[in-house]
């Protein structure tokens, strides 16, 4: 799963300054027949929990990605670290 990174606000991606503060966790995978695909794993509102929303939800997203890859044997996660 891609590492989370911060980017400056822009017109296309403005700063989230009020509820709801939505986050979507996703992964890029390589398939043998379709090439690179993005898989949406989990989404939610982090308004109440703030950054405490991430630990449990990232763990759940990783578990869902593992389950997806086990079920779709032609799919391998693309691992990137840092600001890549």
Indicate the pTM of the whole model.
0.74
For residue 65, how many C-alpha atoms fall within 13 Å in the half-sphere facing its CB? 24
Total domains, the chain: 1
Q: How many helices and strands, by DSSP H and E, does the chain display? A: 1, 3
- Going by pLDDT thresholds of 50, 70 and 90, the confidence category of residue 81 is low
Is the per-residue pLDDT at 1 higher than 50?
Answer: no
Tell me the residue range of the domain where 68 lies. Answer: 22-77
3-class DSSP assignment, residue 70 = helix
In a domain, 82, yes or no: no
Mean pLDDT across 45-56: 94
pLDDT at 9: 73
In a domain, 84, yes or no: no
């Amino acid at each position: 799963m891609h590492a989370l990174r911060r980017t400056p606000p822009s017109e296309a991606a403005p700063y989230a300054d009020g509820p709801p503060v939505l986050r979507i966790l996703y992964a890029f995978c390589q398939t043998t027949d379709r090439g690179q695909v993005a898989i949406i794993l989990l989404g939610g509102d982090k308004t109440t929990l703030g950054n405490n929303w991430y630990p449990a939800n990232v763990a759940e997203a990783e578990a869902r990605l593992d389950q997806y890859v086990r079920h779709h044997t032609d799919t391998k996660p693309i691992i990137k670290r840092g600001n890549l």
